[in-house]
Amino acid sequence: MITLGIETSCDETAVALLEDGRILANAVYSQEEHRMFGGVVPEIASRAHLEKVDRLAAAVMKDASLAPRDLGLAAVTDSPGLAGALLVGVSFALGLHVRYGMPVIGVNHLEGHISAMYLSHPDLSMPFLALLVSGGHTAIYRVDGVGKYTCLGRTVDDAAGEAFDKVGKMLGFPYPAGRAIEEEARRAAATDRTPPFPIARLPGPSLDFSFSGLKTAVKYFIAEKGAEWTRGNRPLICKAFQEAAINSLVNNCAAASEASGIRRIALVGGVACNTRLREAMRQRLGDTVYFPPPALCVDNGAMIACAGYRRFKSGLTRFPHMDPNGAL
């Protein structure tokens, strides 16, 4: 079966074609329009999706030498995300259904990120833990099967990627700032003394995350040191912030692995592109940590096609109850 995957939940318009787990074509348009605003503007995102989604669909169909009538399924992100942006993708998928009669299945964006693992590690056995880290979400899930997810911990405030972007804005980096912070942190000498930013740990056995305190600590540190000192020492600040954020992620993941007895861990989501995070996960948790290639960590249509295809094969056409945070 050939599945068309459509992703329009935030600021990437993405369309892909998948044939029984094999990617035939994968196209992503990253919206640069938001840079001048320092964050995603929902109305601008919706308009950009509206302008691009049909063009990307046509492009992947051409790349794969296929016609719409060759498709067996359309999978589209229907939650969570920006309402207007999601509406564009869902409306496009339903239009294909009306015109060509193909079935349409809604896909949870977070399940899409987890399903990206099956595209690069198809033999990964369950159960496994999934550390999902992105600009809008940070959580640990136990994965027992298609549609079988147990949330073991999630952020109680900012997502990790959101914290990277907000700290980046304080330091003068354009949006999105994750890659800039990672690159700047590499410039800090190993022997340089970095600021002692806090590593959040919630009381008791909680596996939840918190990044607002770390973000505030960076803000006050910068204010105390002043603009001139900050400009000359940005690598140190970036390294200290990044290490504190990564330690929080790794600590909770290690605790979840210990408590559950599950050693197989998948690192997914946009922040999973961070090389230092990958290194820290492997150093702490060993070679049973898996992650997709960077192109499948960021928002993409292939992960949505994979999740939709797996659900369709399992006879699952609806999601379990969604909480207000859009968690699985």
Two tokens at 307?
A: 């999740």
What's the count of helices (H) and strands (E) in the chain, helices before strands? 11, 10
Residue with tokens 């640990």: 140
Candidate CATH numbers 3.65.10.10, 1.10.10.60, 3.40.710.10, 3.30.420.40; the one for domain 2-114+296-314:
3.30.420.40
**Euclidean distance between CA atoms 158 and 305, whole angstroms:** 28
The whole-number average pLDDT for the span 229-243 is 96
Nearest to 299 by CA among 115, 143, 163: 115
Cβ contact 114:43 at 8 Å: no
For 231, the enclosing helix (H) or strand (E) is helix 227-232
* pTM given for the model: 0.93
Confidence of residue 201 (pLDDT cuts 50, 70, 90): confident
pLDDT above 60: residue 295 = yes
Distance CA 116, CA 62 (A): 23
102 neighbors 53 (Cβ within 8 angstroms): no
Q: Which amino acid is at 25?
A: A
pLDDT bin (cut points 50, 70, 90) of residue 316 is: confident
pLDDT of amino acid 323: 41
Reported as a pLDDT band with limits 50, 70 and 90, residue 203 is confident
Estimate the crossing angle of helix 234-260 against helix 178-186, to 10 degrees.
Answer: 110
For domain 125-291, the question of CATH label 3.40.50.880 is answered with: no
Neighbouring C-alpha atoms within 13 Å toward the C-beta of 118: 24
* Conformation bin of residue 34: beta by default, left when phi > 0, alpha when psi is -120 to 50: alpha
Mean of pLDDT over the chain: 93
Assess whether the region 2-114+296-314 and the region 125-291 belong to the same CATH fold.
Answer: yes
Within 13 A of 163's CA, how many CA atoms are on the CB side? 31
What DSSP state is assigned to residue 324?
T
- How far is it, in rounded angstroms, from Cα 79 to Cα 228? 44
Q: 275-285 and 234-260 helices cross at what angle (nearest 10)?
A: 40
**74-111 pLDDT per residue, tens:** 999 999 999 999 999 999 999 999 999 999 999 999 99
Q: Which residue has 């993941």 as its token pair? A: 253
- Report how far residue 308's alpha carbon sits from residue 93's, in angstroms, rounded to the nearest whole number: 13
245-252 average pLDDT score: 97
Amino acid at 75: A
Return d(Cα 7, Cα 81) in angstroms, integer.
Answer: 10
Give Dmax over CA atoms of the chain in angstroms: 63
Tell me, letter by letter, the H, E, C secondary structure of 75-88: EEEEECCCHHHHHH
Point out which residues pair with 139 in neighbouring strands: 132, 154
Strand partners, 290: 266
**What average pLDDT does this structure show over 263-274?**
97
Domain ranges of the chain: 2-114+296-314, 125-291
Angle at the Cα of 32 from the Cα atoms of 30 and 34, rounded to 5 degrees = 115
Residue 263 to residue 285: CA distance in whole angstroms:
8
The average pLDDT across 273-290 equals 97
- The token duo for 326 is 């859009």
Strands (E), the chain: 2-7, 12-19, 22-30, 73-79, 104-108, 128-133, 138-145, 148-154, 265-268, 289-290
Residues counted in the chain: 328
Which residues partner with 148 through β-bridges?
Answer: 145
